[in-house]
Amino acid sequence: MARTDLRHPDNVAGDWFVDTRCIDCGTCRDIAPELFGAIDDLSVVVAQPDDSTRLDAWLAAQACPTSSIGTLSRQPRPGRLYPREIEDGSGVYDCGYCSEDSFGASAWFVRRTDGNLLVDSPRFTEALVAPIAAAGGIDHVLLTHRDDVADARRWADRFGARVWIHRDDARAAPFATDQFDDEVAVQPGVLTVPTPGHTRGSAMFLVDGRYLFTGDSLAWSHERQDLTAFRDACWWSWSAQADSLARLAARHRFAWVLPGHGARVNDDPETLHHRLTRLVDRM
């Protein structure tokens, strides 16, 4: 619960606020950029929600890893918000409940006939465990890189899931059952896509040739209105990351970019491919 005694003084006047426990993960700004902005490396409310944006405020609040977003009036939350399907009938869900251990990275749940997937790890909380169990549990935990492991072991133990991670980041998940260093099929329609750069063992996962889970290697920027990569948060090799994204562009098409950090985007695959090739040129 957000703490009113720690309300940041730069929040715009009104009921909604962010407290100073914020870690500047940017999750709220990616979910609701019209409501949240950054001041002095912290998020604050820059516009109070109205009827058309109030749900976005609640989604940001529930995703916040430090529970720093709330209301002075202690408004009750409007029912269960997560897991939340990203498009009708997709079977792909935003988990919300981001973990401070992964600096607020988003995690994703995918319902599939051949076995359900968890991509990276949200907080382990019964608020998520119950609906995921009702949806058939988790068969595979797919880790994009060492930074976003968080509670992956607890999720895997709870559901008896296999855990996948690139061999070069495997030290971060010694409990992993499956290591890879090339493109391999997790199950029909689910492909590992190694993308070293952000970390030596960074990887993406492509589902049904449509949904690309990108970890911290590729995201949408609301500010630039374009695909982006994080040069200031590249822990291993920027040139290797550029090469990885060039290989991605040469081999694959996708309609969704679903990152850990940064905003998500859905567009025509050829449009996204064009944007990706332009990003590689800029890098």
Query: Residue 60 has what pLDDT?
Result: 98
Q: Which two tokens stand for residue 53?
A: 């944006």
Is the residue at 77 inside a domain?
Answer: no
How distant is the alpha carbon of residue 30 from its chain centre?
Answer: 10
Cβ atoms within 10 A of the Cβ of 274, count? Answer: 14
Q: Which two tokens stand for residue 174?
A: 């010694």
The answer to whether residues 203 and 174 belong to one domain is yes
Using CA atoms, how far apart are residues 256 and 265, in angstroms rounded to an integer? 6
The answer to whether residues 106 and 167 belong to one domain is yes
- pTM of the full structure: 0.96
Q: Which two tokens stand for residue 129?
A: 């465990």
The answer to whether residues 236 and 123 belong to one domain is yes
Is the residue at 54 inside a domain?
Answer: yes
Using CA atoms, how far apart are residues 234 and 243, in angstroms rounded to an integer? 14
Last residue of a domain, one of 49, 71, 93: 71
Average of per-residue pLDDT values in the chain = 97
The answer to whether residues 53 and 172 belong to one domain is no
Is the residue at 121 inside a domain?
Answer: yes
36-74 pLDDT, tens digit each:
999 988 999 999 999 999 999 999 999 999 999 999 999
What would the mean pLDDT of 131-151 be, rounded to a whole number?
Answer: 98
What would the mean pLDDT of 185-190 be, rounded to a whole number?
Answer: 98
Helix residue ranges, H only, the chain: 27-31, 54-63, 126-134, 152-159, 238-251, 269-282
Is the residue at 35 inside a domain?
Answer: yes
Question: Where residue 259 sits, what CATH number does that domain have?
Answer: 3.60.15.10
The answer to whether residues 88 and 204 belong to one domain is yes
Tell whether the model's pLDDT for residue 166 goes beyond 90: yes
Q: Per this entry, what is the length of the chain?
A: 283
Is the residue at 76 inside a domain?
Answer: no
Is the residue at 226 inside a domain?
Answer: yes
Using CA atoms, how far apart are residues 68 and 61, in angstroms rounded to an integer? 7
The answer to whether residues 8 and 89 belong to one domain is no
Using CA atoms, how far apart are residues 223 and 282, in angstroms rounded to an integer? 17
71-102 pLDDT, tens digit each:
999 999 888 999 999 999 999 999 999 999 99
Question: Which of the 8 DSSP states describes residue 122?
Answer: -
Rg of the chain over all Cα atoms, to the nearest angstrom: 18
Q: Is residue 187 within 8 Å of residue 233, measured between CB atoms?
A: no
189-235 pLDDT, tens digit each:
999 999 999 999 999 999 999 999 999 999 999 999 999 999 999 99
Tell whether the model's pLDDT for residue 1 goes beyond 90: no
Query: Residue 114 has what pLDDT?
Result: 97
Q: Which two tokens stand for residue 56?
A: 């976005």
Query: Residue 113 has what pLDDT?
Result: 97
The answer to whether residues 62 and 160 belong to one domain is no
Last residue of a domain, one of 71, 93, 113: 71
Question: Where residue 43 sits, what CATH number does that domain have?
Answer: 3.30.70.20
The sheet carrying 256-259 orders its strands as: 185-187, 190-194, 203-207, 211-215, 256-259, 265-266
Query: Residue 79 has what pLDDT?
Result: 87
Question: Which of the 8 DSSP states describes residue 169?
Answer: G
Strand partners, 162: 140
Domain of residue 234, residue span: 84-282
The answer to whether residues 64 and 92 belong to one domain is no
Query: Residue 77 has what pLDDT?
Result: 85
The answer to whether residues 121 and 45 belong to one domain is no
- The amino acid sitting at 205 is F
Q: Give residue 8's pLDDT band: very low, low, confident or very high (50, 70, 90).
A: very high
Tell whether the model's pLDDT for residue 163 goes beyond 90: yes
Q: Which two tokens stand for residue 39?
A: 């001041």
Q: Is residue 123 within 8 Å of residue 99, measured between CB atoms?
A: yes
Q: How many domains does the chain have?
A: 2
Last residue of a domain, one of 71, 92, 109: 71
Using CA atoms, how far apart are residues 190 and 179, in angstroms rounded to an integer? 15
Q: Is residue 197 within 8 Å of residue 186, measured between CB atoms?
A: no
What would the mean pLDDT of 163-171 be, rounded to a whole number?
Answer: 98
Is the residue at 79 inside a domain?
Answer: no
The answer to whether residues 67 and 107 belong to one domain is no
The answer to whether residues 42 and 137 belong to one domain is no
What would the mean pLDDT of 102-130 be, rounded to a whole number?
Answer: 97
Query: Which three-class secondary structure state does DSSP give residue 274?
Result: helix
The answer to whether residues 182 and 148 belong to one domain is yes
Is the residue at 237 inside a domain?
Answer: yes
225 CB-near residues (< 8 Å, 6+ apart): none
